Structure 1
Amino acid sequence: MHSTLRTFFCSLPLALASLSALAQTPAERVIIVSPVVGEVIDGAEKARFGLFPYYSADSFQDARFLRALAPDSAITLRTRLRDGRQVAKPFTFAEFQAAHDLIERRQRELDANPQPAAGTASSSQGTPELPGRSYSIELRSGTTFTGVLQTTAPDALEFMTKDLGLVTVQRSNLKRLSLLTTEQAAKGYTDAGNGTRIFFAPTARNLRQGEGYLQDIDIILVGVNYGITDNISVGALVPLLPGVGGNVFAITPKVSGQISEKFSIGAGALYARAFGVGGGVAYGVGTYGTADDNATLGLGYGFADGKGASSSPVLLLGGAKRLSRGFSVLNETYIFSEGLAGLVGGRLQGERYGGSLGFLYGSGYIGGIYPAYLELTYRFGKHK
């Protein structure tokens, strides 16, 4: 009896140690979906291989696959988000295998057709293809949308969109790919144009090189403007009136420069001729803000052929505010010695087409407020 008890008590520490070891043994273990990504899948790997589209690139930090030690136990994807939360998502074996196959297939594609390094431009579009960043996409069919680039392949790109989910775009169908700034990505759209004018009044922002637009004003006036460089643009305006021909026209050259990220200065002129008589306005302007939201202060002097500039200047105060993807409010006010006059209204805008409606207001003989400025525009050429 004493021998048995002695054996029992001698064995007890070993038994307790074994129980403690069992208690500390984890209930689940990490399983590797592919040696290409290893145990932990980070944000770059998620974007590179198009994994877990239900988590946005902005919120995802990393993830790993776990499996309980019990036989035939389920697989769990445990994801850590940037806000500190952890999310567990059950995975079937078929889903796990599909993730493995996707990674292996994409890796073979990337090995066979290496993509440009981050920060370099793609040869087809001249735009960096950076997984995890937001883009504005325009298809050859005219469809436009924004999305976060998930993966790149030799023949296709995949984007995660807010409304459509995961969208695959064949490169052959892609017309333009524009990388969005942080501000644009937060809004969910890119700028429509470069904010070069209000209604008729110019701003100090210029058309970018190769960018242009056609416009029709009040049906009877047709104009075109084009960016020769990022700092020099030129425009022309002619009336659509029978019998006028080349007897009436106007040209609008402008030179501008960017002083800081949001402040630009510029100078230009509007010169018009009608039946042998010419004159116009020379001006200088300063604009603060972005292509969508800006304020402009300008000073202009009138002149005529054979005469110098007038001694009485015209002061311009104006601005634009984009309220949504497709609508902005605008105002331009001209202050001169006899009083003031201006246009106030709105603009509907898309990636290529737009339209504006301005109401005339003023002091003195003008009085009241009247619909006076109707415009349709089409953007062409380079489109950033």
Structure 2
Amino acid sequence: MFVALLLLGAAAPSARAQAPADTARLLMLGPVVGEVVDAQEKATYGFFPYYSTDNFAEGRLYQALRPDSAVTLLAQLRDGTVRRRRIGAAELQSIRAAVPRPAPAPAGTRPAAPTRAATPDSVGTMYAVELVTGSSFMGTLLATRPAELEFTTRDLGRLVVQRTNIRNMQPLTVTQAGRGWEPVGNGTRIFFAPTARMLRKGEGYIQDINVFVLGGNYGITDNISIGALVPVIPGAGVSFVALTPKVGVPVNDKLNLAAGVLFATGFGSSGGIAYGAGTYGTADQNATLGLGYLFAEGDIESSPVVLVGGATRISRRLSLLNETYFYSGGLGGLVGLRVAAARLSGSLGFLYLSELGTIFPAYLEAAYRFGKVK
């Protein structure tokens, strides 16, 4: 009778995955999962790999009330069908072993109510995924396993990626996913001011600032970069060279620390600024706090310059930027926007100074990214 009812349930697409209580008992896999396995639990613990995660709704395990104690999985799929599958003793043991057991409560305390396991990766969410190789893709997370994640993508189909190969994962809103959210830089600078985020090894850019100044930066390693600024037309009334080495380390996924120097020589003298900075956030959304000391001809200013700045990406192409400098006697900075694609970007900044009490356009930049742009 039990087998006949199971076959009937499998043959009826609209039937709910269940079995009569008088012929079988419903198995509980543990207080974390309970009696019903949903799609996220299937993906999190790697249950039932023979069913597609994106078509799995829920499943139940029943054990026959007869001498052979057969265990059967009744799976409800999202397309409305119900599937039946025999579960062997070895598979049942591996399923139960995959479910974590709650830690015992301290003596004298009341046990907490059972809850589902939490996971930092949300199954069903679309992510912009950046790999350590520099490549990237957008995909919907289908499954999370201890060592790997599984995505489905529009162009590449299903991808299984080792966690160790993922540099960064950014969840996307519905609007972002619909428009596309390609990487447009690693957030290493605001306008002129550097952040503590570093260029990756093999990543670089060249830029033209206010028509007359040509600059470039290149990631030697993930922690060391070098850059330079020179006039577009050397010797045409303006002669200088500036070097901009920087070193940095990530503290965690969001916090980065860096130090660097801008050293310039020209017009018969030399000088620059030595700085340290900390940046919190992602390439698209970040805030920076920096401290720098001006130096020239062997003398160092006793009062530092404090930088407070940041960037926020508000659409597929557009970001808002601000960098404010606090110095002895006042403050000033640049505020404006950047329009960016994968390799090309343009920035417009408006200068403001507390002494002048006004704001006017003063920074125009075009940049081209090369090397590992993703």
**Distance 1:316-1:145 versus aligned 2 partners, 3 A rule:** same
Matched residue, 2:155 = 167
Q: 2:360 aligns with which of 346, 370, 376?
A: 370
Alignment map for 1:247-326 (pairs within 5 Å)? 247-305=239-297, 307-326=298-317
Contact 1:284 1:299 (C-alpha < 8 Å) held by counterparts:
yes
**Which letter does structure 2 place at the counterpart of 1:209?**
K
Which of the numbers 349, 352, 365 marks the counterpart of 2:343? 352
How does the TM-score come out when normalised to structure 1? 0.58
| 1:329 aligned onto 2:309 | no
Taking only aligned residues, the RMSD between alpha carbons, in angstroms, comes to: 4.2
Asked which structure has the greater CA Rg, the reply is 1
Alignment partner, residue 215 of structure 2: 223
Q: CA 1:229–1:323 in 2, change beyond 3 Å: closer, same or farther?
A: same
User: Helix, strand or coil for the counterpart of 1:183?
Assistant: strand
Cα distance in 1 between the residues matched to 2:200 and 2:170: 20
Q: Check whether the contact 1:136–1:180 (CA below 8 A) recurs between aligned residues.
A: no
8 Å contact 2:195–2:277 — kept in the other structure?
yes
Deviation at 1:184? 3.5
Tell me the secondary structure at the aligned position of residue 28 of structure 1: helix
Instruction: Report if aligned partners of 1:135, 1:180 keep a CA contact under 8 Å in 2.
Output: no
Cα distance change, pair 50–180 in 1 and its aligned pair in 2 (3 A):
farther
Tell me, yes or no, if the aligned pair for 1:136 and 1:179 is still in contact at 8 Å.
no
**Counterparts in 2 of 1:136 and 1:315: CA distance versus 1, 3 Å:** closer
The residue aligned with 2:372 is: 382
Counterpart of 1:10 in structure 2 is: none
Q: In 1, are the aligned partners of 2:231 and 2:239 still within 8 Å (CA)?
A: no
CA contact (8 A) 1:318 1:333 kept: yes
Q: What is the identity percentage for the equivalent residue pairs of Structure 1 and Structure 2?
A: 50
Answer whether contact 1:262 1:290 (CA < 8 A) is retained: yes
Tell me, which stretches of 5 or more residues in structure 1 are unaligned?
1-20, 32-40, 64-76, 80-86, 91-131, 139-143, 151-158, 170-177
- Provide the rounded CA distance (Å) in 1 between the counterparts of 2:270 and 2:9: 84
Q: Which has the higher helix share?
A: 1
Residue aligned with 2:155, SS: strand
TM-score, scaled to structure 2: 0.59
Contact 1:135 1:179 in 2 (8 A): no
Cα drift, residue 324 of structure 1: 2.3
- Confirm or deny that 1:147 pairs with 2:135: no
Unaligned 5+ segments in structure 2 are 12-38, 60-74, 82-123, 131-135, 143-150, 158-164
Task: Name the counterpart of 2:170.
Answer: 183
Residues 127, 170 of structure 2: 8 Å contact kept: no
1:103 aligned residue: none
Distance 1:146 1:276, change over 3 A: same
Paired residues in the alignment total: 270
Q: Distance in 2 between matches of 1:301 and 1:355?
A: 29
